[in-house]
Amino acid sequence: MTMRSTFTAAAAAAASSVIVLGCGGGGSSGATSPNAATSSTATAASGTPSTGSTSTSTTSSGGTTSSGGTTSSGGGTSSGGGGTSSGTPPSAPSVPSASFACGGATRTAPTGSPGGPSLSITLQGNDPTQTYTSGSKFGVTFQTESKVADVIAWQIADYTGRVQASGSINVSAGATTAGVSCSSTISGYFAVSAKLKNSGATEPQQGSRPEGYAAFGVLPNVADYVPAFNASLDTRRVGLVAENDVEPGTQQQPLNENLGTSWIMTSRSMSLTEPQQAGQYNPATFPIDNAIKEGNLGRVVYMNGLPFWASTAPSPGSGGSYPPKSYSYFQSYSAQVGEESVRLDKEYIHNEHTNYYQASWEPDPGPSTEWKGTDAQFVELYKATWEGVHSTDPNAKVIGPATQSIGICQSWLERLAPMGFTNYVDGLSCHGYYIVGASSSLPPEVGDLPTKLQSLRKVMTTLMPGKPLIVTETGIGYPMNTNYAANYPTNSVLTEHAEAVVRTHLIMLGEGVDKSFVFYGADFSSPVGFGMYFNLDLSNYASGSLQPKPTAMAVAAATRLIDGSRTLGGLTNLPSGGYGYTFLLADSKHTMTALWAHNASFNASEPYEVTVDAPGTSGKTVMFDAMGNPQAVEYSNGVLKVTISEMPIYVLSSNVSAQKSLLRAPEGYNTSF
């Protein structure tokens, strides 16, 4: 998106074992709104725990069990928020039961003069963005004011509308604080809705989140099922464009940790580093985000944006991107940027073996960053960048041109290659907007994203064979001409947004994109809906006051299941409207297949037999739904019968060769590590 240019940071299993990720969850149809709190007959005595709060323990297959205990989902909890284990998966799949449980409610005696009516919901857990680790304790607090006695009716439901816990709490006139303590080993998105029965008072709208509820997530833990990632960040394939100041001194965490994203965009625009004059930038002392010091985030450094003193722009207010006054100076500046990257790698980022550099941002006509020079000057810009960073950084790779869409990226490559552009890029970068108005109502299948990527890879095979393809931004919003409101987005829109975002990036990776960047961390004021998280303070792009959407939790599951992989290819035997890609996981002994279907009514449901083993074999498998919840099932004659729908499911197999004859590998792409 053009606004981005203004940002300043922008398991070794036996041969017969197969693990599959889920059929549960369904689509948006039939889901109930999280705003509709239901009541029970349970009440809470003043100052004492209520015996009336209810909860359910629900397995990913949709069955309900006793809520008497909390057992681990996905084989145990992880202090790292659901990352893969350091060992290998078990030789036979075993899925313990999972639960969602809330204790009895407590409340304080009413205080103050009767006022209101009003109700607010706050959440407290082990993550400031309300994205909690599996099995951890979290609290839900209800604060009310009422002129007369009333009853809080509350419930907690997942994105499909399935209620996991509910209850009622009596409150007297005055100000009352009540709460429940909960934990869950069921992963995914949850909405806590509540209202005062008599007055109807409910949680007000905050920022981009509608009224009636507060949202939180529980991270999946797939460590006992999925092989551990390789140490090198170069093998990680999902990045995040975000600047949300949740933790002091960092705009990159904990969102990347929660979402499972491993690459970030970092600005070294001269407008940022040398706004007044040459020589202001010092690569030895330039401040960095504290998250970089943790050493687990790789960087794409973007260098577009010249200050007026260094630009050929006719005036300080001139729109667009102009060539530099001195290509020689820009080359020396690029060398300094490379010098800083070497320092950061040495001091902090020991597992990043490649530093990427991008000299332009959406240079195609239309955006505020469109290129105002000639094609020859554009090639000269990349020559200066390439020669500069390669003179100081032995791990440098220059990428470009980062046009708005895959189709435009291909046309720019075809036009610029004869002028020498491919001599000065070590890879191709594009933005992945597949259709004007890409949104929850216009998902990637509508824009024929797979075909566009296949065409681009074919051209790359001829013009820049063996070089990586990196999509440095793709975002999905809500439908055009919509606005944040007390009743918008609806639960259907939120669900369709999650579906569109996760499917977009699965297609990217499945069609041979080496790295794909999700845009954006949290919602901003306009255009609406691009965030993985609700932003409770829309006055601030970098707000740290966040709550997850279903999208955040679907992305968190996908990264834990298919990141760190190589693409084997797209399935060729799918039903009409079906999509599927198989990925080789980090141990090179397991594959993960992502599957879904889409139709114009957003309610696709297609039977499919996915190959997981050799013909004639039978065994047990484990299925994970789109939120990362496992379910034990059985396959026979080498195939597993599933139903694919709008939300992806994932299939893990230990027979790498089982699907090879059914796969179409991306053209010119190296499918092995």
Q: How does DSSP assign 369-437, residue by residue?
A: T-B-S-HHHHHHHHHHHHHHHHHH-TTEEEEEE--SSHHHHHHHHHHHGGGTGGGS-SEEEEE---STT
H-run or E-run covering 350: none
| Antiparallel, parallel or unpaired: β 649-653 and 18-21 | antiparallel
Name the one residue in this structure whose structure tokens are 């008497």: 68
Query: Is residue 217 a contact partner of residue 130, using CB atoms and an 8 Å limit?
Result: yes
Name the one residue in this structure whose structure tokens are 């799918």: 574
Query: Is residue 138 a contact partner of residue 181, using CB atoms and an 8 Å limit?
Result: yes
Name the one residue in this structure whose structure tokens are 């491919």: 422
Q: How many CB atoms lie within 10 A of CB 448?
A: 14
* Amino acid present at 421: F
Final residue before a domain boundary, out of 494, 529, 548: 548
Does residue 569 lie within any of the structural domains? no
Same domain, 405 and 472: yes
Find out whether the peptide bond into 324 is cis, omega within 30 degrees of 0: no
Same domain, 328 and 212: no
- Alpha-carbon distance values, 104 to 48, 55, 134, 136, 181 (Å): 9, 10, 21, 17, 8
Same domain, 133 and 267: no
| Antiparallel, parallel or unpaired: β 533-535 and 546-548 | antiparallel
Does residue 646 lie within any of the structural domains? no
Task: Name 222's Cβ contacts closer than 8 Å, sequence gap at least 6.
Answer: 74, 75, 82, 84, 560, 561, 624, 628, 630
H-run or E-run covering 347: helix 327-347
Residues in the chain: 673
> CA 257, CA 250: separation in Å to the nearest integer?
13
Does residue 571 lie within any of the structural domains? no
Does residue 617 lie within any of the structural domains? no
Same domain, 351 and 496: yes
Task: Name 506's Cβ contacts closer than 8 Å, sequence gap at least 6.
Answer: 558, 562, 581, 594, 596, 648
Is 295 buried (19+), middle (13-18) or exposed (0-12) by CB count in 10 A? middle
- Which token pair is 461? 């095979």
Q: Tell me the CB-side half-sphere exposure of residue 135, using CA atoms within 13 A.
A: 17
Same domain, 439 and 471: yes
Write out the residue range of the structural domain in which residue 135 sits.
32-218
> CA 473, CA 16: separation in Å to the nearest integer?
39
Instruction: Return the pLDDT at 26.
Output: 35
Instruction: Return the pLDDT at 89.
Output: 54
> CA 623, CA 634: separation in Å to the nearest integer?
10
DSSP letters spanning 437-486: T-BTTB-TTTTTHHHHHHHHHHHHHHHSTT--EEEEEEE-BSPTT---BT
Final residue before a domain boundary, out of 168, 194, 218: 218
The neighbouring-strand residues paired with 664 are 570
Task: Name 593's Cβ contacts closer than 8 Å, sequence gap at least 6.
Answer: 571, 580, 581, 582, 583, 610, 650, 651, 652, 653, 659
Final residue before a domain boundary, out of 195, 218, 241: 218
Same domain, 256 and 405: yes
Q: What is the DSSP letter of 228?
A: P
> CA 360, CA 305: separation in Å to the nearest integer?
8
CATH number of the domain that 324 lies in? 3.20.20.80
Q: What is the DSSP letter of 327?
A: H
Q: Tell me the CB-side half-sphere exposure of residue 88, using CA atoms within 13 A.
A: 13
* Amino acid present at 440: S
> CA 577, CA 570: separation in Å to the nearest integer?
14
Does residue 589 lie within any of the structural domains? no
Instruction: Return the pLDDT at 1.
Output: 60
Number of domains in the chain: 2
Mean pLDDT split into 10-residue runs, the chain, 673 residues: 34 30 34 35 32 45 30 31 44 82 92 88 97 98 96 98 97 95 98 98 98 98 92 95 82 92 96 97 93 92 97 95 98 98 95 93 96 98 98 98 98 98 98 94 97 98 98 97 98 98 98 98 96 95 92 98 97 97 95 96 97 94 92 92 98 91 96 92
Same domain, 302 and 427: yes
Handedness of CA 272, 276, 278, 284 (dihedral sign): negative
Does residue 295 lie within any of the structural domains? yes
Instruction: Return the pLDDT at 52.
Output: 42
Same domain, 267 and 206: no
Does residue 298 lie within any of the structural domains? yes
> CA 472, CA 213: separation in Å to the nearest integer?
34
Same domain, 136 and 279: no
Query: Is residue 129 a contact partner of residue 218, using CB atoms and an 8 Å limit?
Result: no
> CA 528, CA 343: separation in Å to the nearest integer?
38
Does residue 443 lie within any of the structural domains? yes
> CA 610, CA 197: separation in Å to the nearest integer?
48
Instruction: Return the pLDDT at 111.
Output: 83
